[in-house]
Amino acid sequence: MERIFCPSCRLQQPIDHAYCVRCGHGLPTHLLEQAPVKRARFFAGVKVSDRDSANAFLRVSCYLKEQTFSTPEGSVVIPGHHVRFSIWNGEQAQCVLSIPETEARSLAHFIEEELSKLDDALPAT
Ligand SMILES: [Zn+2]
């Protein structure tokens, strides 16, 4: 894992810290060329049956790199290379599912391929 030095006390620590764990000094994380570890997008749902919610949406989070969150009680490691889907109804997540990167690539390819058939079916303009 990449590390950063505190400019005040020189303690080395993970780059995802915003403040030094020893002295509380702000860490110069803005200086790091850092790719985001996670990106998320929301996709609006469409109501196709009476049982469907009118304001449901899909949240897709791509976890690119492993991420460690440290707290005084211990640390939690969120693995990278997976995509997490959650179905939201208003403010509440109804269910979640994570799939590995390989499955996510397969899903993206599947959707791309199926939707391209729709493009072929469009009348020529
Ligand atoms: Zn420090």
* pLDDT tens digits along 105-121: 999 999 999 999 987 77
Asked if residue 2 has pLDDT above 80, the reply is no
> Both 53 and 66 in a single domain?
yes
- The answer on 48 and 12 residing in a single domain is no
- pTM summary value: 0.62
- The rounded distance, in Å, linking the Cα atoms of 4 and 10 is 9
Q: Is the pLDDT of residue 33 over 90?
A: no
Same domain, 43 and 91: yes
Using the mean position of ligand 1's atoms as its centre, give its distance from the Cα of residue 60 in Å.
36
83 and 54 in a common domain: yes
Instruction: Please give the tally of structural domains in the chain.
Output: 2
The token duo for 74 is 């211990």
Q: What is the pLDDT of residue 80?
A: 87
Q: Are residues 71 and 116 in the same domain?
A: yes
How far does the chain reach from its first CA to its final CA, in angstroms?
A: 53
16 and 47 co-located in one domain: no
Considering the domain architecture, whether residues 87 and 98 belong to the same structural domain is answered as: yes
Whether 67 and 99 map to the same domain: the answer is yes
92 and 43 within one domain = yes
Instruction: Give residue 98 CA to ligand 1 midpoint distance, Å.
Output: 36
Query: Do 80 and 30 fall into the same domain?
Result: no
14 vs 20: CA distance, rounded Å: 10
Q: What domain range includes position 1? A: 1-34
Asked if 43 contacts 60 with a C-beta cutoff of 8 angstroms, the reply is yes
Cα 27 to middle of ligand 1, angstroms: 8
